[in-house]
Amino acid sequence: MRPRLKRLRGELEPWRLYGRLLERQADACGAYLLAERRVRVSRPVPNTRLTFGDSVYLYRDVGLFLDREGASIHIGDGTGINRRTEIISEVGVTIGAYCMLGWDVLVTDTDYHHIDHAPERAPVTIGDYVWIAARAAVMKGVTIGDGAIVAAGALVTKDVPPRTLVAGVPARAIRSDVTWG
């Protein structure tokens, strides 16, 4: 038992070290932030806000981009964000507590361009206990309800009710009253 504990502590040390380095770039941070190498934070303009809850896990090559004055990203308690996921904010992106984001997920609150009279940016809100599977994209103005599941490769352009499974391009409800965990 003792060698196993020592090995676990050794495995977690780099995660905690990178988490401490990342804490310096955040405006507020919970008690425990774990991060792998190469987590990128881009804040090219002033007056942006980056906050982390307790026990947040950020895997390798996660990108957090705050690209406009007043932009904010909040990641809630116990949330895990997997490899190569990018979160892009010009207004505000809020990710709730105990969420899981798979690898290569995109969450963005902006298009970076105008099309007809549609707004260029709108905040994104992801509720608590949401699972967003690999290579899904959550676009501007979307609210995802608590306990929802977004299938792999889905393109979410409209609100998702709580405890609903959505899939497809564009994403549509496949099942309601789902649970995961």
pLDDT tens-digit readout, 39-67 = 999 999 999 999 999 999 999 999 999 99
Provide the whole-model pTM: 0.89
Domain boundaries, the chain: 2-176
Q: What is the pLDDT of residue 5?
A: 37
113 is catalytic: yes
Check 74, 113, 114, 117 and give the catalytic one.
113
DSSP string, 48-105: -EEEE-TTEEE-TT-EEEE-STT-EEEE-TT-EE-TT-EEEESS-EEE-TT-EE-TT-
- The class (CATH top level) of 2-176 is mainly beta
Judge whether residue 31 has pLDDT over 90: no
Nearest to 84 by CA among 32, 123, 124, 136: 136
Question: 73 pairs with which residues across the strands?
Answer: 50, 93
Q: What is the pLDDT of residue 19?
A: 76
Q: Which two tokens stand for residue 164?
A: 């609903």
Lowest mean pLDDT among 5-19, 86-100, 112-126, 146-160: 5-19
Burial of 107 per CB tally in 10 Å (0-12, 13-18, 19+) = buried
